[in-house]
Structure 1
């Protein structure tokens, strides 16, 4: 793991992360309208995943997030994939990100880049939008048993750090980080929460309380929010900055608005306006900036340009 180089880079200045995987897979003809979402691509289109990773590196991203957010053995089994193959697919997702990183570094040895292993919440496995509500409850042991196998597969396949992302519940994060510290000590991770508004997690927990707790964990390298509207980021950063001295990470959606009736995205006047927002996020303390749903390599290129010029 390259955690020391990652933390050193954070101290030198902001880092750019990647953007949406599913959006770019769809552009390449991969259907993502199933419970497996972007993980579907690992069944038949691994080359598309590699192409997406490469496109983000070329746009200026320094972090590739593995295509494992919704990839876990129970989800694959529910989709009719045998467990042994499911395990290999999760490992393959890490390999694809690593190979993309290695190829990029070979051509750009002067530019440090990292691979983050994506760990989505239990709510993502439910595939009913629960990561945006937190309307589920497991005890610590049950959360740990759900996450354990995927964590092991990802960590043994070789990532630089973990991305615990779109987390709507502090209790799940606590269970996850306890498991990581007990089973894979010294593993670095960031925690990125799903929020209902700039001061609360999706389940109602105060964002400041959650960030303050994460800051007490010795292997947390950053804390922040993702998969929320562009306009929520600056006030969320102010909430976070008052609660913790940890580096802050943000990766919002593109600005498009989701219509749950038609299950489609519609552009708004704020769509893809990263050039307007990024300078304010940097001023508010953001140290890692990327994109979530509907963001593109063009958005990451804009973010990288703003980071470089500010």
Structure 2
């Protein structure tokens, strides 16, 4: 089992970094790269096996709109992960995952949680993903590709089409409700399609940025479905939900208890197919350190 890091954007906010605007945490890559490096380093100190690059919210278009060169920014994100990986006792064993957020994140209107992309076409989605994907795919320092918070069935198809000529392993982390993809597509339909279009480089499927309680139900449903497939028997599960707190959009505050996160984690570890775990919004190095301790206690 591999341990991912936790939140980057909300962790930077906690440390006084302004991540507002279309680039979100990617803004910090340009303005305060040392802050990004320090968050990565703190996760390494917490015992992670995988660091995610600060590229979730980035794409060629929104970087060029800010007068930035995409290739330079992507390379900086990778370099900051490399620097942090060297800072801990785990050293070269820390892998780097190239973070690839969905088209909905680029829209910056919450569509990564609905998948309501309107009349967007397959071609538009593939054009959106291609530049960042190519940069991360070609980097010798990126160990795997992480497609995160994907809410749309059409976008899944677009991603798989782009990956047909790639060489890196990848995982698919979905934006979900307890029973379906965010756009309403059933988990059965998603897995059936992936089973009919198998890619041997796909190492895991799962969810992120969901409720901690929801995460358990999602894993159980996906695990049951994967067990019945013809071509996905070797595919694992990935899960990294939010802290257990809930965001109040009107008051713009987080409420609720973090305790739900570790309670859910105990349930994840009961499922043998679960291979990659971590945290999303509002989780930090302390939460990931506690998850490290839990994983180690279960494996000892």
TM-score scaled to structure 1, two decimals?
0.87
Cross-structure match for 1:198: 178
> Is the partner of 2:29 in helix, strand or coil?
helix
1:154 deviation in Å? Answer: 2.0
Counterparts of 1:261 and 1:72, CA distance in 2: 29
Which of 36, 44, 48 is the aligned partner of 1:57? 44
Counterparts of 2:37 and 2:297, CA distance in 1: 29
8 Å Cα contact 1:234/1:284 also seen in 2 = no
Counterparts of 2:16 and 2:263, CA distance in 1: 31
1:168 deviation in Å? Answer: 0.2
Where in structure 1 are there 5+ consecutive unaligned residues?
1-13
The number of residues matched between the two structures is: 286
Cross-structure match for 2:249: 260
Cross-structure match for 2:187: 207
Which of 249, 254, 278 is the aligned partner of 1:290? 278
Where in structure 2 are there 5+ consecutive unaligned residues?
227-232
Cross-structure match for 1:72: 59
Q: Give matches, 1:1-310, under 5 Å.
A: 14-78=1-65, 81-84=66-69, 86-104=70-88, 107-109=89-91, 112-136=93-117, 137-157=119-139, 158-182=141-165, 185-195=166-176, 197-215=177-195, 216-244=198-226, 245=233, 246-266=235-255, 268-269=256-257, 271-285=258-272, 286-310=274-298
Q: 1:212 to 1:302 in 2, by over 3 A?
A: farther
8 Å Cα contact 2:44/2:90 also seen in 1 = no
Counterparts of 1:112 and 1:204, CA distance in 2: 38
8 Å Cα contact 1:198/1:207 also seen in 2 = no
8 Å Cα contact 1:181/1:187 also seen in 2 = no
8 Å Cα contact 2:242/2:261 also seen in 1 = no
1:201 deviation in Å? Answer: 0.5
8 Å Cα contact 1:72/1:90 also seen in 2 = no
1:255 deviation in Å? Answer: 0.9
1:83 deviation in Å? Answer: 4.3
How large is the RMSD of aligned CA atoms in angstroms?
1.6
Q: 1:214 to 1:65 in 2, by over 3 A?
A: farther
